[in-house]
Structure 1
Amino acid sequence: MTNLVPIGRALISVSDKSGLLDLARALAVQGVELISTGGTSGMLRTAGLKVRDVSDVTGFPEMMDGRVKTLHPNVHGALLALRDDDEHLLAMAAHGIEPIDLLIVNLYPFEETVAKGADHDTCIENIDIGGPAMIRAASKNHRFVTVLTDPADYAGLLDQMKAHDGATTLAFRQKLALAAYSRTAAYDTAVSGWLSGQLNQPFTRSKSFGGVLAQGLRYGENPHQAAAFYTDGSRREGVATAKQWQGKELSYNNINDTDAAFELVAEFANAGPACAIIKHANPCGVGTAGSLKEAYLRAYACDQTSAFGGIVALNQPLDAETAEEIVKIFTEVVIAPGASDEARAIFAGKKNLRLLTTKGLPDPAEKSLAFKQVAGGFLVQDRDTDSITADDLKVVTKRAPTDAELADLLFAWKVAKHVKSNAIVYVKDGATVGVGAGQMSRIDSTRIAARKAGDMADALGLAQSPTIGSVVASDAFFPFADGLLAAAEAGATAIIQPGGSMRDDEVIAAADAAGLAMVFTDQRHFRH
């Protein structure tokens, strides 16, 4: 295969013009002929560079508001021709097609246009046609053509040309072709995703997911697994949009857990100060209070053992008082919609603590798709955005919950949505006091949560377990009365669950016999 290929002619057509003048000047110094389009051509010419308009190459003017300018055999033939194929060379000579050795193209800013909330017609006009066509042509013919789609690769091109007397190596061109095809794939995915949203047809016949590399990661869930973090351009507030003020680079598990924590605390956006502490993607404590410091302390009191080395998410900007409490134990990450200068100064003394701030909270009701890979394919579903109010609840026991119990039941239900199934959450006075997660049996989750609450009471020197007088949320129905009775034995006084079991009548009767209040949601929150 051809290795070194000298660059004699370059076609440049870019939306993002950062770094372009320096690159174009360097190419001109090496004697490369520059061909360009529209605004790019004007910019280069204004800078004093000799530029040939693409309309001179095609013999046609740019037309239809720039929609048609490069879709021509004199461009695509110049990019696709095999330089070692006699028939291709004869065709080029017969039709006056001059080879193009370097293509520098980046695409109309479709993703950015959508992210800004532009109207339908503006988004349509920012779908690039000629750019992807040229990129794909040049990439296919990377044996002979070098293609650049990202200003980050400009310096590498110049280094190649300097090292190889104006030529590039096959390995370099292959690397750029991969980058180019990855870019057009992500671009088409963005267009498809936007259009499926416009038409409310999320489950199309073919489905793809795209992203842009945000950072390479040291490893994945375990040190033997390679990993990377990609952003999808949605601009949903969270880890992808956050500013990191200090601390080591985030790991795969840090990112996963921080996302889980921030999504959970966002459920309490309108509940006053709130805090969620996450460990291994499950909440080990959630609290609300009159101040952020007290909310943190209430969340921490649920399970101080598990909170060590956890992720803290706040629904309000971090203040100095809360920061002083957080630094008393080892915490991996703190994420909040802002942080005061005083709080950042306190954290500065903990070099391993990562502090992330965002411009706001994610919207729990925002619709989007979630996917999970399985052997031979992937599962796609709507993200779980459903929520309930008191009006949605159905009281099924003789005793209705009190106002205080009702408030805690709704609190517990929000938390249960973010706990791995089978999920059981005990809540008292606006804070979790016991969480049972990820068990194969619901009664095991119920007992584990109660036991952990009892252990915490002993550690804190409390006279009794905080589950006494608490309420309980179950993410799915109780298939038997045993789980409900275990909660009652732990001291719970009210239950919230979806209902829908074949044995609902038995479970309701058991609740009545125990003097419990129970409400059904007719809504399940499995989380696997």
Structure 2
Amino acid sequence: MPVDLRPVARALLSVSDKTGLVEFARALDAQGVELVSTGGTRKALADAGLAVKDIADLTHFPEMMDGRLKTLHPKVHGGLLAIRENPEHEAAMLAHDIRPIDLLVVNLYPFEATLAKGAPFEECVENIDIGGPAMIRAASKNHNDVAVVVDPEDYAAVAAELAANKGATTLATRKRLAQKAFARTAAYDAAISNWLAGELREEAPAWRAIGGKLALPMRYGENPHQAAGFYITGDKRPGVATARQLQGKQLSYNNMNDTDAAFECVAEFDPARTAAVAIIKHANPCGVAEGATLEEAYVKALRCDPVSAFGGIVALNRRLDAAAARKIVEVFTEVIIAPDADEEAIALVAARKNLRLLLTGGAPDPRAPGLTFRSVAGGFLAQSRDNAVVDDMALGVVTKRAPTERELADLKFAFRVAKHVKSNAIVYARDGATVGIGAGQMSRVDSSRIAAHKAGEAAKAAGLAESLAIGSVVASDAFFPFPDGLLAAAEAGATAVIQPGGSVNDKDVIAAADEAGLAMVVTGVRHFRH
């Protein structure tokens, strides 16, 4: 039968991260807890003047094999697993001189950090903890009797509970700590198994695990009746997970999702080549542009759809400067995300107290490999990240007319953006800026017509007499199954088209392009985004 209060007479401490260790150990010592430790942890405690026994004093067995073998011993695991008040367990402990361990304090070898810094294979292997997870699981299983602490953030709460209960822990705390401990070892093993799958180039291993640490509890998810939290996996890809929030209220679930979409989109543009800005609404670009400066790029991006940009996310591929910040804050914006920012720009944004400013320290590499996940009923889908970049594609001209140099530059620009627009996606672009975007329609021809309509509305908003689509180019994320979507683009005023090709009706589509005087190139690469 579960017992609420369990006194802590002996604690085993073995930690890699020594943050707060000495202070916590002093709190245990003040409660009369006997301290037992290993290696570097024992030295840190002894150097702080604490009385601490070596693990070998329990096991009567030396540490060996470069520290690989020190806690994998019956006197350790027996002390953790023994059920108190169980006559058979008590008899076994007495017969084999096994002393109970009431509190386990362990955090693991820094495998995730070692992997993140790009360490060689052998170093990663040496940072796979074996004894730590084994002890954690043993103590967690026996949480009716044993408390297990795997996170320095819990030291203060456990110390306070011991002080409040005359050196005892409560069952509620032990259960909470056990849940966290099992989750920690699960996330740890997930990181290791996914790393090994990558090393073996296994695209679909028989078992796939996902693990993460709560970085931000959220008030709700996509809608107020949904619970949510933001978890980090240890992946160092620059973005919302690595960002430093300088100001503004807490990000919401939708803010997180949209900001990630915005930064991934703008990362398609090499900052050494051009300044670029992406404005995102509901995870879709409503304006993307490049320019000589961020200010110029922002003005061009905003022109595409100034109505949808209201309350949107703005992502930049370069350090935010004052000129760009001054323009951005003229429009109500939820989030600005950039690799960095000037002090003057930070001050300008600070005048809008609810506007969040995120600085990531870098931009994600659009060519980098990685995994993306999506839940489905009963499981999840995992796939490699879409890291195809138009600059690496062998573009083929399939029409009688080849695109001009200007058209080709705009075609590449439009295809970069189309990669980040929900399918079916149609993107009109001119002079390094989107002028009309059609997203997420069931029919490609509808996306084309919506994009053309947006281009006309953008022209009206800018006080222009003719649609911005006139003289533009158009990108399609997938092939045109019939000529109708292509012809809709031609009717809107587009002069050149980029698309993957591969339809059984390619000949009809090419013939329609030739008849309309369009230049068309194919990429051979599709960018579906659902």
The equivalent residue for 1:336 is 338
Which amino acid in structure 1 is aligned with residue 56 of structure 2? Answer: S
Contact 1:498 1:522 in 2 (8 A): yes
1:56-455 matched pairs, under 5 angstroms: 56-269=57-270, 270-389=272-391, 392-455=394-457
Pairing 1:474–2:476 present:
yes
SS at match of 1:268: coil
Give the letter for the 2:428 counterpart.
Y
Once the two structures are superposed, residues 46-83 of structure 1 have per-residue CA deviations (whole angstroms, 9 ceiling, x without a partner) of 21111111011011010011000000000000000011
Deviations 1:295-347 (A, max 9, x none): 00000000000000000001110010111100111000001111000001111
User: Aligned in 2, Cα 1:321/1:308: closer, same or farther, shift over 3 Å?
Assistant: same
Instruction: Provide the C-alpha distance between the structure 1 equivalents of 2:340 and 2:93, rounded to a whole number of angstroms.
Output: 60
C-alpha displacement of 1:8: 0.4
Residues 393 and 523, structure 2, Cα contact 8 Å, conserved in 1:
no
Residue 390 of structure 1 deviates from its aligned partner by 8.1
Aligned to 1:523: 525
Q: 1:304, 1:219 → 2: CA distance?
A: 29
How is 1:19-58 mapped onto 2 (pairs within 5 angstroms)? Answer: 19-58=20-59
- Aligned counterparts of 2:71 and 2:521: Cα–Cα separation in 1: 65
SS for the counterpart of 2:390 is coil
**1:84 to partner: Cα distance:** 2.1
Indicate if the aligned counterparts of 2:56 and 2:62 stay in contact, CA closer than 8 A.
yes
CA distance in 2, matches of 1:138, 1:515: 74
SS in 1 for 2:267: helix
Render the CA deviation track for 1:410-464: whole Å, top value 9, x for unaligned.
Answer: 0000000000000000000110000000000001000001001101111221021
Residues 271 and 288 in structure 1, CA contact (< 8 A), matched pair in contact too? no
1:501 deviates by: 1.1
Residue by residue over 1:74-129, the C-alpha shift from the partner in whole angstroms, topping out at 9 and shown as x without a partner, is: 00000000112100000000000010000000011111111111111111111100
Q: Deviations over 1:140-178 (max 9, x none)?
A: 000000000011001111111122111111111000000
Paired letter, 2:155: Y
Q: Which runs of 4+ in 1 moved over 4 A?
A: none
| Contact kept? 2:15, 2:105, Cα under 8 Å | yes
Corresponding letter in the other structure for 2:262: A
Instruction: Measure the CA separation in 2 of the matches of 1:358 and 1:102.
Output: 39
Kept in 2, the 8 Å contact 1:319–1:343? The answer is: yes
Percent pairwise identity: 66
Preserved CA contact (<8 Å) 1:287 1:430: yes
Aligned to 2:487: 485
Distance in structure 1 (CA, Å) of the matches to 2:386 and 2:305: 26
More deviation in 269-278 or 227-236? Answer: 269-278
Gaps of 5+ in 2: none
Residues of 2 paired with 1:47 and 1:398: CA distance? 81
Q: CA deviation at 1:22?
A: 1.0
Q: More displaced, 188-197 or 171-180?
A: 188-197
Partner Cα distance (1:28, 1:434) in 2: 68
Q: Judge conservation of contact 2:427–2:438 (CA < 8 Å) in 1.
A: yes
2:511 paired with 1:503: no
Compared CA separation, residues 349 and 295, structure 1 to 2 (3 A): same
Where 2:335 maps in the other structure, the secondary structure is strand
Q: What is the alpha-carbon distance in structure 2 between the residues aligned to residue 265 and residue 55 of structure 1?
A: 56
CA distance in 2, matches of 1:520, 1:397: 10
Q: Distance in 2 between matches of 1:172 and 1:391?
A: 56
Q: Verify the 8 A CA contact 1:390 1:410 in the aligned structure 2.
A: no
Give the C-alpha shift of residue 202 in structure 1.
3.5
TM-score w.r.t. the length of structure 2 is 0.99
**Unmatched runs of 5 consecutive residues or more in structure 1:** none
The amino acid of 2:511's aligned partner reads: A
1:416–1:473: 8 Å Cα contact kept in structure 2? yes
